[in-house]
Structure 1
């Protein structure tokens, strides 16, 4: 049963009637372009088939309720109170995510009169696959629909605005200083394509990414090492980048080219140099990856993926034992390229592999984790899927 059907069924069991609407949004894998989004740079994500669905019905009393279906099949309920009284810091735990979206929409003038929400999905939480943003995007689209502004209707706000509103909810309400990558990927990706997103200009380009046609697979390795942007060093890295841009006299590190890099590093304090080096070279790697994909050279992006991981491991310092074991084992067993994906400090890695090598590389990764006495990772193949949409 799909997440949308599961959410609708759970809503019926909880409320005794069918929901007014069901919307869902996917998780994402970032092919390349990590920690570049909040530096006004370039990213290249794909949407996953895994989705978070929100079954919702309108309330006219201003109250917001939410329930999420756990992996154990049990509904976990929370009363979030009056939407008009929501404020940053007022809600803790998982309920802060739907509450933050409702708050952000109200702040933007959307008339949210109240809602009952039931949430279900199959995006692994804490795996660096953006389950929180999938949830927030689905909630935003459901609440907009209940407010008479559905994303597929004539009064729909631009999806770029919805992405920014979700970012506001995450930054200001939840307290996680994320950029625009995840929201945009969840809302705007299309099937069989990677999304080339210029964060500064807002320009989007759908880049063909048909691994099956090239006899390749993109293997996702969920290391089971959980992470959280709001509790990790993510915010410290972002602050460091902003400070470096200020010292260099530029709006964002996007404005530093590879040709300018050595000169920029020479005037920065030692602790900021690795951060800047990663962001500048990562932007260049995104552009190079797009060029290879545009030329139909999917296998050629492997070394770029691996170089990205090395940069994140050594310069940005956001890897961990599990991620390094996954990447090293995949490369040693024949992967064309591999890197961690997502914010870091845990989560998932990806490996570009020949289809014929997928099983042997998967076994090698599992063996490497067992040898290190680490929890066995979850392995699956990522195929580029469609972005968010209405299910019923």
Structure 2
């Protein structure tokens, strides 16, 4: 039986973490160990698969948790067929452990989950640069979600192109559980968006855009799913614009799909993304999808209404168009696009790349 290891900073199910969870669930015939570098915070990784073993480090710090994990490996070295990671610090740390002989592997696969050099600066970026240099040479395959992400990486780290096997593999989506999603019972029409409440997601722009929507659609509400450090700032903005009761910061919900299916329009308002996985989730449930051009590859998706980033007026116009027009043809376009991004195709592509 194959032994597979996935290592994550924490158990919060963001976009990158959802992909790793899909990978874990795909290998139903393997012994899968999911190692979190922090303590348990939720039940979202609970599974009925007896071959998936979930482990935590009893700490609130990813960095201290990494040290504890290293100490565990000193006591008992482990060997795996596949090791997966999707976060720069974690990938770098695992690469260092492999170089030191604390971990043994047949294949080590890393994913770039965001555009690091666009998002971070200062000490954190300095640390990430070091992790690239010290740990990434242990990778057998580095996956970039988009060509733009690969170009960003190579332009800032020229050495990496000559030393690593870097391939562009688009993000997957697991379509199997999405065929029986139920519609929510609500007393009002609503527009939906979802993601961590952080600056990069552009929810402040979306709230400004929604203010304009209400002029012609006064019964609508805006629901934002997710949690994050910008909650207080967004709550202040909602109060300042007198949108209490019209803009709902719902927090994290276990199942986003009924919201996406019931909404009048699904919106991605991000300033910058590696690639927004939530966009694929929205497309699986709704024909009315609006997105900013937060990642270049979004422009290749048929049927999605696109607008420039950081422009609330353009965003409100696109949402109004989606509310008022018929986009039923998008169902065929979206399903065809999503079929090509199945988790099965994703894993097959990875394994094919590793054999070359």
Between Structure 1 and Structure 2, which shows a larger proportion of strand residues? 1
| TM-score, scaled to structure 2 | 0.27
Higher RCO (CA 8 Å, separation ≥ 6 residues) = 1
